[in-house]
Amino acid sequence: MMDCVKKNRLLWYWISKNEGIGHKTTVMLLNAFHSIEGVYQAKHEELLKLNLKEEVIGYLNKKYSIEELENEFDHMKKRGIHFICIEDEEYPEKLKKLYDAPWFLYYRGELPNDNLPSIAVIGARDCSAYGSDVAYYFSKELSMLGIQIISGLARGVDGMAHKGAISCGGKTYGVIGNGLDLCYPRENYGLYQEVNLHGGILSEYPIGSKALPYHFPLRNRIIAALSDGILVVEAREKSGTLITVDSGLEQGKDIFALPGKLTDELSKGCNLLIQNGAKLVLSPEDILVELRNQYSSLLGVKTNATLLKKEDLTEMEQRVYSLLSYQAIHVEELLVKTDLNQGQLLEALFELESKQYVRLITGQQYIRTL
């Protein structure tokens, strides 16, 4: 005989298969019939009293047998796709705190560990080379400390955040706005597979569900809920990224933002966030300081940036390094700020790059990596 837990999970799977049954409709059904099994057993006349849409009533009247549901469920698992409902022990505790927490989740790989700190790294899809580098760098540094990186598997900042975590063997999780059998955007197919191996991919949408525009704002609340804080790398003044921030603020999450040029469209969103109270960050250590308040095991842990040994650098290298930041700067600008000639400056930059303190990104522009 099937145990109650497994049967409930199958019935939640039955509900999840119809996208027309959203969060509010599910609440209405549970209030009317008291349990997911009560919903499954509901009669046509009882459903009519709830003023539900015809297609929803039609679906609920179509009673899949438990055997049919079990066969579908097993086939899905063979494809590497798992399903849990809010009643399951495995359901993330951080997500349960959300007032409109998903009733169920589909996932590949594994679920985020509730006992480990998590940071969402988000930003523009059409990010700059600078934004791409910084997203990668911050995610890598945080991952090296055991911090899970959460993002949306989109192009731009999201993708670089996942790649940064993967590069050092860290854990990263992608929350998507479509079914797990589809990869959107298609160009991220390779990354999709990598994230699956180095963490997991989550969705509240059933198999076959397309990436529809209204899915993404709903997806963003899950990204915020799974995270202890949200880092915005680059964002326009009116950006979908800010939907995640708003959701995070509603949930009491720490908001971090990287400052940028006043004239840079991709920095306007970040600069406004800072003006409105987001924490300005210049290094991964700034985020770590906040996380230490929640995770005492991180006390005393330092990022690579705080472990620099001055004796590693010559006096000339230190002078050049002090002028660099996480904002790209051109060699010509460095020449103006120092009394070095071009040969000395390029020699210092070459040594700093060989010691992995700085990186050449585009043209003759350099950025700190430590």
Q: By residue range, what is the domain housing residue 60?
A: 1-78
> CA-CA distance, 52 to 290, in Å (whole number)?
46
Q: Are residues 205 and 251 in the same domain?
A: yes
CATH number of the CATH domain containing 51: 1.10.150
CATH number of the CATH domain containing 298: 3.40.50.450
Which of 63 and 196 is assigned the larger pLDDT?
196
pLDDT band at 295; cut points 50, 70, 90: confident
Domain boundary among 284, 302, 320: 302
pLDDT band at 299; cut points 50, 70, 90: very low
Q: Does a structural domain hold residue 84?
A: no
Say if CB 340 and CB 348 are below 8 A apart: yes
Q: Does a structural domain hold residue 202?
A: yes
Q: Are residues 180 and 279 in the same domain?
A: yes
Give yes or no for residue 219 having a pLDDT over 60: yes
Question: How many domains does the chain contain in total?
Answer: 3
pLDDT band at 370; cut points 50, 70, 90: low
Helix (H) or strand (E) holding 107: strand 104-109
Which of 311 and 197 is assigned the larger pLDDT?
197
Q: Does a structural domain hold residue 298?
A: yes
The pLDDT assigned to 303 comes to 44
Q: Are residues 70 and 129 in the same domain?
A: no
Helix (H, G, I), strand (E, B) or coil at 134: helix
pLDDT band at 360; cut points 50, 70, 90: confident
Query: What are the residues whose beta carbons fall under 8 Å from the beta carbon of 311, sequence distance 6 or more?
Result: none
Q: Are residues 271 and 320 in the same domain?
A: no
Q: Does a structural domain hold residue 106?
A: no
pLDDT tens-digit profile of 3-42?
778 899 999 999 999 988 999 999 999 999 999 999 999 9
Percent of the chain with pLDDT over 70: 94
Percent of the chain with pLDDT over 90: 74
The pLDDT assigned to 311 comes to 57
pLDDT band at 368; cut points 50, 70, 90: confident
Q: Are residues 324 and 193 in the same domain?
A: no
Domain boundary among 302, 319, 343: 302
Q: Are residues 215 and 260 in the same domain?
A: yes
Q: What is the DSSP letter of 311?
A: G
Q: Are residues 212 and 259 in the same domain?
A: yes
Q: Does a structural domain hold residue 100?
A: no
> CA-CA distance, 136 to 250, in Å (whole number)?
27
pLDDT tens-digit profile of 68-114?
999 999 999 999 999 999 999 999 999 999 999 999 999 999 999 99
pLDDT tens-digit profile of 170-198?
999 999 999 999 999 999 999 999 999 99
The pLDDT assigned to 296 comes to 66
Q: Does a structural domain hold residue 86?
A: no
Domain boundary among 51, 78, 105: 78
Q: Are residues 135 and 284 in the same domain?
A: yes
pLDDT band at 302; cut points 50, 70, 90: very low
pLDDT band at 145; cut points 50, 70, 90: confident
Q: Are residues 280 and 185 in the same domain?
A: yes
Give yes or no for residue 300 having a pLDDT over 60: no
Say if CB 335 and CB 345 are below 8 A apart: yes
3-state secondary structure 265-304: HHHHHHHHHHHCCCEECCCHHHHHHHHCCCCHHHCCCCCH
> CA-CA distance, 96 to 264, in Å (whole number)?
38
The pLDDT assigned to 362 comes to 66
Q: Does a structural domain hold residue 98?
A: no
Q: Does a structural domain hold residue 89?
A: no
The pLDDT assigned to 290 comes to 87
Average model confidence (pLDDT) for the chain? 90
The string of DSSP codes covering 140-199 is HHHHTTT-EEEE---TTHHHHHHHHHHHTT--EEEE-SS-TTS-SSGGGHHHHHHHHHSE
The string of DSSP codes covering 35-84 is SHHHHHH--HHHHHTTT--HHHHHHHHS---HHHHHHHHHHHHHTT-EEE
CATH number of the CATH domain containing 359: 1.10.10.10
Give yes or no for residue 166 having a pLDDT over 80: yes
Give yes or no for residue 63 having a pLDDT over 90: no
User: Which of 210, 208, 219, 178 is closest to 79 using CA atoms?
Assistant: 208
Q: What is the mean pLDDT of residues 202-231?
A: 96
Q: Are residues 129 and 268 in the same domain?
A: yes
Q: Are residues 253 and 319 in the same domain?
A: no
Least reliable range by pLDDT among 157-161, 304-308, 345-349: 304-308
User: Which of 35, 302, 264, 331 is closest to 144 using CA atoms?
Assistant: 302
- Residue 187 to residues 41, 156, 190, 191: CA-CA distances in angstroms? 44, 11, 8, 9
Prediction pTM value:
0.81
Say if CB 111 and CB 82 are below 8 A apart: no
> Any long-range contacts for 304-313 (C-beta under 8 Å, 24+ apart)?
304/141, 304/144, 304/370, 305/141, 305/370, 308/357, 308/370, 312/355, 313/352, 313/355, 313/357
Q: Are residues 318 and 352 in the same domain?
A: yes
> CA-CA distance, 321 to 352, in Å (whole number)?
8
